[in-house]
Structure 1
Amino acid sequence: MENERIEEFKNEIDRLKIKSGSSDREKIYQFLGGALMIAGIVLSLIAYFVAGAQDSGDLAIDDLEHNEHIILAIAGIAVTIAGAAIFLRYSLTRFFRFWLLRQIFENRKNK
């Protein structure tokens, strides 16, 4: 009975010619978003720890290099946020597309 419903659902989607979320482009963007999140976190942590470990004895040079690394850490945080936005956009798009198709199918079935 359950397999029958699944097959009927797949046939209905094929008949409607609606994109069902199997696009490779969305998967690539979702992977890219996840990779950007990880890269941003790694960049931020490395820049933060390098900034805290500097001590050459010359306070003016230390402050300048420290500020450069803090800016790099903030850029890493920005990359992380952008990656999270890309990841969420494409993962939620795929989920909501499937959910909407399922709702349409169930509502047609009940009428």
Structure 2
Amino acid sequence: MTSTPLPASRADRFVRELAELKIPDPAAARTALWRRLGGLLMTAGLVLGALAFPLAHATDSSLAQGDALALGLGGVTAAVVGGALFLRYSLTDFLRFWLARQSYDLDRLGERLGDPADAAKTVNSPAPEGEPRNGAAPSPR
């Protein structure tokens, strides 16, 4: 008695085809590191900006105020750069998966539509007499 292999489920085929595309794993260590660094820079920038305000207003010395303003400007810069890093690596992972999913769905659609040569014959063939084209109601005669 021979056993026939069960057809792979859609999810199993998707995982196999994703591996064949050699798309890096979204949970790769390098992208996670950049994402964490971006989050850390955002947080540090917000903290520096929040600390610079009271430092600049706590003194009458223009030199101390200039230092506090430079610290605040550095904090804003760090927050913007950190936000850009975090957003870039978060969206990259999401869009990479989305692109692979779109590729998979288009492949499934192509399989459902069948061979393009068969589809061209079906589209260009005349409708049998008495049958309406494209679901239109037949005209009264």
Q: TM-score range, shorter-chain basis?
A: 0.7 to 0.9
Over the aligned positions, Cα root-mean-square deviation in angstroms equals 1.2
Asked if structure 2 preserves the Cα contact closer than 8 Å seen for 1:20 and 1:98, the reply is: no
Say which structure is richer in helix.
1
Structure having greater relative contact order (Cα 8 Å, sep ≥ 6): 1
Distance 1:47 1:22 in 2: 36
Q: Which amino acid aligns with 1:97?
A: R
- The CA deviation string for residues 58-87 of structure 1, in whole angstroms up to 9 with x for no partner, is xxxx11211210111011100100000111
* Aligned counterparts of 1:18 and 1:38: Cα–Cα separation in 2: 31
TM normalised by structure 1 equals: 0.85
Equivalent position of 1:38 in the other structure: 43
The counterpart of 2:23, out of the listed 18, 22, 35, is 18
Match of residue 10 from structure 2: 5
Q: What residue in structure 2 maps to residue 109 of structure 1?
A: 108
- The residue type paired with residue 102 of structure 1 is R
Q: Which runs of 4+ in 1 moved over 6 A?
A: none
Task: Give the alignment's TM-score, normalised by structure 2.
Answer: 0.68
Count the aligned residue pairs. Answer: 102
Contiguous gaps of at least 5 residues in structure 1:
56-61
Report % sequence identity.
Answer: 38
Q: Over alpha carbons, which structure has the higher Rg?
A: 2
Runs (5+) with no aligned partner, structure 2: 1-8, 111-141
Residue 91 (structure 1) aligns with: 90
Once the two structures are TM-superposed, the CA of residue 16 in structure 1 deviates from its matched residue by 2.5
